[in-house]
Amino acid sequence: MQAIENRIIDIKNPNALPMFTERFIFTFREAYKMECTSIVVLCIGTDRSTGDCLGPLVGYKLSSMVKWQNVFVYGTLENPVHAKNLHSTLSTIKTNHKRPFIIAVDACLGSHEKVGCIIVDKGPIVPGAGVNKKLPKAGDMYIIGIVNGGRFGRISHTAKHQVEPGHEYGRYHQQRNVFELFKVGRGIGLDLK
């Protein structure tokens, strides 16, 4: 198992995009099972909380970019996947997609020095764990963005510039990195129809 530091990408690093791409490809190859028939990008969060809107922002942008028959995006600004509908969304995914490979995207809390970093790893995430919510695990791999930190860090108290793609603070790169994963898909042998 790699050290946690190897999974963290600081979006302020000028090499963030190639680092993200490399990490995404490595993780995808480790976690992807050939029997999977579709890829589901599950973007978790709410449009009603600035700090928790990273998932819906990514989903909103990806949904207009994804053109392949076997890649699906759940969780956008218009139709967010959040604590109240996560169970039903996971049931819908299970019903509608035979053997999906799920990539979970979410915001999380972390230490102040890690705010603005992305973590890419295999396995499921536990949405809501940072705010003591008991929600089901989701994903075969995940991409999480650390949006707030500190002992009293709260998703609901996160400044908009810390999650909004395109802000001078560097969030543009975070958004762009996630979108690049679909360009990378063809290079790792995915049958993106």
Architecture of domain 4-185: 3-Layer(aba) Sandwich (3.40)
3-state secondary structure of 169: coil
Q: How far is CA 134 from CA 53, 62, 81, 107, 140, in A?
A: 19, 27, 15, 16, 19
CB 53 within 8 A of CB 105: no
pLDDT tens across 82-132, in order?
A: 989 999 999 999 999 989 999 999 988 877 888 889 999 999 998 877 677
pLDDT computed for residue 176 by the predictor: 46
Q: Could you tell me the pTM of the whole model?
A: 0.78
CB atoms within 10 A of CB 144: 23
Minimal CA–CA distance to 42: which of 126, 142, 121?
A: 142
Helix segments in the chain, DSSP class H: 16-31, 54-65, 86-96, 171-187
Minimal CA–CA distance to 117: which of 27, 1, 23?
A: 23
pLDDT computed for residue 20 by the predictor: 92
pLDDT computed for residue 5 by the predictor: 60
Average pLDDT of the chain?
77
Residues of the chain with pLDDT under 50: 1-2, 151-193
pLDDT computed for residue 136 by the predictor: 87
Domain definitions of the chain by residue range: 4-185
pLDDT computed for residue 4 by the predictor: 54
